[in-house]
Amino acid sequence: MAMNINNRLDQLRTRRSGIDRADRLAMDAAAEVLAKSRIDEAWQKRAKDQPHTRYCLGAMQAVDADYTRISIETAERVGKQLVSGLQILGIPIELRLQGSVALDVHIRGVSDVDLLTLETDFYTYDTRGAMSLGGQYRSPSQRTSLSVLGNLRTESQRILKDKFPAATVDTSGGKAIAISGGSLARPVDVVPSHWHDTAAYQASRLERDRGVTILDRKVPTTIDNLPFLHIHRVNERDKSVFGGLKKAIRLCKNVKNDAIEEGRKINFPSFDIAATMYHADSVGLQAGFVNELAILAETQRFLDELYHDEAKAKSLMVPDGSRRIFDTDDKYQSLRTLSYEMDELAKEVAKEQSPLLRFSPQTNILDTRRVLRESYVPGI
């Protein structure tokens, strides 16, 4: 099925402005989103007669900073109610953000914010770490992660329903309590959790090396994650390529969403998209600092490489080193579908940039990449 670029442009605008999820917001927040959606963003004024190019440029951009600020402020508001409510029960917690909003690779004006609620009077630790071997931890607790997180979740659900009576508190998820609507300006996913002191954290004492344990109530079981190490490493790589990595991640996520809207099956989580593009060629991404379309060229090239080299794709690790990215065949097949979508977008954008490509039947993907790397699209 060929892409419908006008539909994709409409979907991109709708997604970035937040009007696709206005029904999940407080009335005043929804009205604000609707009013702001009528104002064109900078990308919408570029490449006026080149819709594929305009879509590509828009798909790379960060969501409006005001939208992101409101998302974070809403999560903090929810968090404050949890801190005070749980403190009354003798359950001390700390709050942290994780996920796409924290990393600034979210693609929606109205994004769910992942709020970790970390119970601080219970934690686990790697017994092989320096602090453990040095006897710096108290005797192991008789409580278990399952019981602690199960109770934290139960009490958090009760507090959220009590403090936000007009909001929808969805408790059906295994890992997060989803709260939206009522007086909330953005939806928030509350994730009950506790700290896990890895061996790396015990050596460095840097929070980025500290693990987090969350509950999957549906199994039930606990899962250890390294969300802050992931954020740190993606941020560092992005800085080294002048912002090109995050632009590539957002581009992939937008193309994935629009392809799904058009009927394609792409089961490729956002976390794994970020992890994949983390391994793209740094020089290729750096070129996008001047010629933004070079980021499309490198994204297409790298996904195409992984499409044709399954062994390499399945050897790639997530940035925190905890697992392989393509740990299921479904993910790899979804990568291949996304690669095809990126091929088609790259070809159409290159045709808009080069009259020779538009009328030559002999052009190939190497010509496409060359044109994209060399093309400069003026700003407004």
For 225-275, the pLDDT digits (tens) are 999 999 999 999 999 999 999 999 999 999 999 999 999 999 999 999 999
Q: Which of 193, 95, 210, 90 lies closest to 150, judged by CA?
A: 193
> For residues 373 and 294, is the Cβ–Cβ distance under 8 A?
yes
- Per the omega criterion (within 30 degrees of 0), is the bond before 355 cis? no
- The string of DSSP letters for 311-329 reads HHHTT-B-TTSSSBS--SH
66-225 is classed in which CATH architecture?
2-Layer Sandwich (3.30)
| Whether residue 33 has pLDDT greater than 80 | yes
CA distance 28 to 89: 33
Rounded to two decimals, the pTM is 0.96
Supply the pLDDT for residue 1: 54
- Could you report the per-residue pLDDT of 282-306, keeping only the tens digit for each? 999 999 999 999 999 999 999 999 9
CA distance 166 to 186: 14
Residue ranges covered by each domain of the chain? 66-225, 232-374
Contact status, residue 122 vs residue 267, Cβ threshold 8 Å:
no
- Residue-wise pLDDT for 125-167, tens only, equals 999 999 999 999 987 778 999 999 999 999 999 999 999 999 9
